[in-house]
Structure 1
Amino acid sequence: MPTERDDVITLLEEQHAQIRDLLQQVESAVGKAKQRPFEDLVRLLAVHESAEEQVVHPASRRAEVAGEIVDDRLHEEDQAKHVLAELYELGVTDDRFAKKFEDFSASVVEHAEMEEKEEFDALRRSLSDRDSARLATALRFAEAVAPTRPHPQAGESATANVVFGPPLALFDRIRDAVHDWRTKTEN
């Protein structure tokens, strides 16, 4: 009998809850205290969306979830990558960050709700327990090799993520390691 960790939809919904929590942490923090939860959010969103684009959306198309539903989610994800990249470049202490982040947060929450309601429910109905567990495994693998920063120029298709994702992920993970090392040695 598969466990909840073997259910791809449960795994995705748990990640959506983590994203909502990090959005709230960034919104409620003040000044430089926003930095750490924002960095965690950037990493989680980049990895989550890349894996969804490689694994979940193609599975939804195979399960005959309405094409426009998947297309709408992909379009929203592409827009979010652009805004997230802008926010990252602005930095949490920029005067424009708070308003831009507030709008971004609302769109991310709306996106997650629509994904859960329209796409995930239909996908869940179409999957056997075994297929759901296989997708959960594929999702975890895709996350393990996904970029940790938004790269809007790479596109949002499964093919773009497979071609550009691993080299970008390697670069991002090296950059993350250097950043984390600097942060630890400066404190």
Structure 2
Amino acid sequence: MSSATIERTAAARLPDGDVVAVLLTQHARIRDLFASVRATRGDVRRQAFDELRALLAVHEVAEELIVRPVAKRTAGEGETEARNSEEAEATRMLKRLEHMDVDSAEFDAVVEEFERAVGEHADHEESDEFPSILRECTAEQRHTMGERLARAERMAPTHPHPAAAGKPVALALTGPFAAMTDKVRDAMTR
């Protein structure tokens, strides 16, 4: 069974709207998008990568603003610092990828490293942070956190406009990953 399937199964066992269920579902979608990036070329690959980048922007900011403050209390500061460090490293890799030709050998090598880093990060969250949140937070608290995360997803695009995919000028208007995370952060803190 694939990691994405395991994540979807675990999410289905939790109440609708539970923050851990929402995050597990996002992890599964992220893994699916990595598979699409690996399996495709050209404009289709660019579009899959752009969608992955946008989902990661929403996911990262939601974790930063909603999950990490709670996980710091439930799992400990060391745990949250480790996850933040992993996210910072993944962001550095993503910034490198944003400037590469998606069909280049260099892109293939870096995206493989990036996928491994993001997958390990998700695995750490699922084994270390999520159990502490499930154990220490009430169902109502987790549902409230899940609602905030879902609201953030609705306010921020989960993928670039189809007309922007593979077009440098259009992508410049949607912005690189850093600009996308800033837009999500602004939307969530309004």
Q: Please classify the TM superposition score into its range, dividing by the shorter chain length.
A: 0.7 to 0.9
Corresponding residue of 2:8: none
| Structure 1 residue matching 2:105: 3-state secondary structure | coil
Cα shift readout 1:35-59 (whole Å, capped 9, x = no counterpart): 1111110010111111110100111
- Calculate the TM-score normalised by the size of structure 1: 0.75
Q: Percent identity?
A: 33
What does 1:78-97 align with in structure 2 at a 5 Å threshold?
78-97=88-107
Gap runs ≥5 in structure 1? 155-160, 168-187
Distance 2:38 2:94 in 1: 14
Q: 1:46 to 1:93 in 2, by over 3 A?
A: same
- Contact 2:72 2:79 (8 Å CA) reproduced: no
Distance 2:96 2:185 in 1: 20
Corresponding residue of 2:170: none
Matched, 1:165 2:175: no
Correspondence for 2:127 among 106, 117, 121: 117
Once the two structures are overlaid, the 10-residue window that deviates more, 133-142 or 112-121, is 133-142
- Contact 1:32 1:93 (8 Å CA) reproduced: no
Matched, 1:36 2:47: yes
Q: 1:59 to 1:146 in 2, by over 3 A?
A: farther
Q: Letter of the 2:186 partner, please give it.
A: P
| Structure 2 residue matching 1:6: 3-state secondary structure | coil
Deviation at 1:165, TM superposition (A): 2.7
Corresponding residue of 1:49: 60
Deviation at 1:134, TM superposition (A): 0.6
- Contact 1:51 1:139 (8 Å CA) reproduced: yes
| Structure 1 residue matching 2:99: 3-state secondary structure | helix
Distance 1:85 1:91 in 2: 13
Correspondence for 2:116 among 106, 117, 123: 106
Distance 1:62 1:139 in 2: 19
Gap runs ≥5 in structure 2? 1-13, 159-175
| Structure 2 residue matching 1:5: 3-state secondary structure | coil
- Calculate the TM-score normalised by the size of structure 2: 0.74
Deviation at 1:95, TM superposition (A): 3.1
Cα shift readout 1:93-127 (whole Å, capped 9, x = no counterpart): 23310000011111111110111000111111111
